[in-house]
Amino acid sequence: MSTPSKASMLSLQAQRDKARCSNEQLRALTHDIVRLFGEWQLNFGNKAKAADYPVQKALLWAKVVLHLQPSAERWQQAKERSILEEWPPSSARDLLALADQDASGYPDMREAYLSAASKRYAHAVVYETARRVGFWDIKSRAEAITYQRWQQIYPKVCSEHANGASFTLPKTQRVTHQHMPMRDDSPFAATVNAFLEGFSRCDMQ
């Protein structure tokens, strides 16, 4: 029976070290997210119930964040920004997307939603997101439902636009007033003239 070579043993040790490092990163990040979930529960109250944030969810989010590999600065910005929102992010990707808003030049996610709810569209990405979420839904359904969908769709629309997708705002339809002079042969001309003559006589008395 052949013994493992020194090279294979070193390779195996390297794999074990890498796996140990990954596990330590996952454990540390899971603890970080558990703390963040706790801050959300304090900050958002009934919008972030403890039952909705089990440790298993923190572990899953940690795996997603490790896969996406954000910089330490981006991760810190996302956590800090999440506390300032009116609703907690609904996924790990939505959480990270919060760090990208300031640098993107697009409207703030929450402000964009509120403006869309008021049928005001400051940017084409706001209108496109409202279209995908559903104009009727935004108007009629509970904010807890529509804003959660907004959080999922808005970053995707902004990313598509940044990568060259073209979205347009609807043309404003304005009703313009045009003055049409009354013709002398109009059936109302005699009535109007009689009224004006009577009005003039009252002023002279």
Q: 41-89: per-residue pLDDT in tens?
A: 999 999 999 999 999 999 999 999 999 998 888 899 899 989 988 889 9
Q: Does the residue 92 lie in any domain?
A: no
The pLDDT of residue 40: 96
The pLDDT of residue 185: 60
Which stretches in the chain have pLDDT values below 50?
Answer: 173-180
The pLDDT of residue 203: 52
C-alpha to C-alpha distances, 104 to 115, 125, 155, 163, nearest whole angstrom: 18, 12, 10, 12
120 and 60 in a common domain: no
Asked whether the beta carbons of 74 and 96 are under 8 A apart, the reply is yes
Q: Does the residue 114 lie in any domain?
A: yes
pTM of the model: 0.56
79 and 22 in a common domain: yes
Number of domains comprising the chain: 2
Residue with tokens 């910005």: 77
The pLDDT of residue 192: 56
The pLDDT of residue 188: 56
Whole domain around residue 67: which residue ranges?
16-85
